Structure 1
Amino acid sequence: MRELSVLEITKAVKELCIQANMVLPCDLRERIEKQAEAEPFPLAKEVMGDIRDNIYCAQEIGVPICQDTGMAVIFLELGQEVHLTGGDLNAAVDEGVRQGYVEGKLRCSVVEDPLRRINTNDNTPAILHLSIVPGEQVKITAAPKGFGSENMSAMRMFTPSATKEDIINYIVEQINTAGSNPCPPMVVGVGIGGDFEKCAYLAKKALCRAVSQPNPDQFYADMEQELLCRINQLGIGPQGFGGETTALAVNIEAFPTHIAGLPVAVNVGCHVTRHAEMTL
């Protein structure tokens, strides 16, 4: 049994919140660079170039890539051979978020009650997704989520009679409805299966998979490519100015479901779909 102080988790969460907001994952940077070169529409090409330059400027001078530094979403995989010491895990995660956002001078966007709307002034509490896994390591992923894109997400409880084409049409329709609101080009996370809440979790988790890494199941990998092609044919383009680059990637995560259901969730990420991870 390995002992690990929750202070180490606080420190890691703090670092990851700052890193994720200032440095985009390399595979996503590369995809943006590629599309900046490949985009055939002059205005769209110029916008893609501005997006590319903004990413490198933010990293160089140490400021957030986007002014909306998001609600802190933390995925924490806790090895079952780890014994946490020194305090409460949830409090330790929130303390890491507090330190990261306050000391990192990141915008604090969380309100303590959804209707009374008083800002907590430190971006807590975080959204914590905790899973117990084999081993004696702790893997932490910080995925700050801006709400310009989050607000464009959707979910539908299909019946089992729905076809693959029905699901594809639904996803494409959601992106078409979203239009320029989520700051395209987007990364589209899709969850299929599970139940109501599991499906939404899968869609959010999908946004943390590298855009260069297709689904390991060829059936879903092909579906990802078909969706990407269909979405880019919508012509929304970078920041809604038209063009062929409406989405940078579509990531699908699937899970077993009930014989009577077929849940589908779409979680939209903007062109700065941020995440950073660390293993302790």
Structure 2
Amino acid sequence: MCQDTGTAVFIVELGQDCHITGGTLTDAINEGVRKGYGEGYLRSSIVHDPLNRKNTSDNTPAIIHLHLVEGDELTIRMTAKGGGAENMSDLRMLKPSDGIEGIKKYILDVVRVAGPNACPPLVVGIGIGGNFERCAYLAKKSLFRPIGIHHSDPEIAALEKELISEINRLGIGPQGMGGTTTALDVKIEVEACHIAALPVAVNLNCHASRHQEITI
């Protein structure tokens, strides 16, 4: 049990033939967050301004990633992303010459430095490619994939399995108490990138991996 009610993060796929009436989709999502967190008596965890730290008191605004897709359906995926693990996440612009070994070393370093502070056992989300902001999104997106479901590309899936074994050999264990279960799973999403770049982002998720999805 954890007091952190997280940041409401949404990945939304809006069919180009789906029409929203009576207001904006963003407003509707935020109203759902406001109502859900309120009726659930969940802690108010969002501040309006990161400088003055005034609480919004209703966990809005949500972070919404909106994608236009074919069809007439609306798919909404939501996660309540905990702040402790988010604080221990990281992004680095590696050199292409660092290669896969450099990527693995960086990921292991991030988990090692996080230690108990990200509330393991973890789900480790990794974004490789894109650019600075896209790489971070890929890492976040990977966390929406259910535990135990590996990447469709066999090479990426093999890297996921290799990394979870290496992470669990770090010996951090649940809540940093030691053991062989530091991570429950590793998720990787990849995307095209510039010839001079190798962006890698590591988005850590605590053991409270909370997700929901609906298609309308």
Same fold (TM over 0.5): yes
Shift of 1:177: 0.2
State the percentage of identical aligned residues: 57
Report SS of the residue matched to 1:68.
coil
Report SS of the residue matched to 1:180.
helix
Shift of 1:181: 0.5
Q: How does 1:2-151 map to 2 (within 5 A)?
A: 65-151=1-87
2:195 corresponds to = 259
Q: Whose helix proportion is higher, 1 or 2?
A: 1
- How far apart in 1 are the matches of 2:24 and 2:144? 26
The one-character-per-residue Cα deviations of 1:2-29 (angstroms, maximum 9, x if unpaired) are xxxxxxxxxxxxxxxxxxxxxxxxxxxx
- How far apart in 2 are the matches of 1:219 and 1:161? 19
- How far apart in 1 are the matches of 2:95 and 2:176? 33
Shift of 1:273: 1.4
Question: Would you identify which runs of 4 or more consecutive aligned residues in structure 1 move more than 3 Å?
Answer: none
Shift of 1:91: 1.3
Counterpart of 1:147, as a letter, is G
- How far apart in 1 are the matches of 2:137 and 2:35? 26
1:215 corresponds to = 151
Shift of 1:104: 1.4
C-alpha RMSD of the superposition: 0.8
Q: How does 1:261-280 map to 2 (within 5 A)?
A: 261-280=197-216
Is 1:224 matched with 2:160? Answer: yes
The one-character-per-residue Cα deviations of 1:219-254 (angstroms, maximum 9, x if unpaired) are 111110111011000000011000000000000000
Shift of 1:272: 1.0
**TM-score in terms of structure 2 length:** 0.98
Long gaps (5+) in structure 1: 1-64
Greater C-alpha radius of gyration: 1
- How far apart in 2 are the matches of 1:68 and 1:229? 28
1:202 corresponds to = 138
Is 1:242 matched with 2:189? Answer: no
1:40 corresponds to = none
Is 1:181 matched with 2:114? Answer: no
Aligned length: 216
- How far apart in 1 are the matches of 2:146 and 2:34? 27
Shift of 1:66: 2.7
Counterpart of 1:164, as a letter, is I
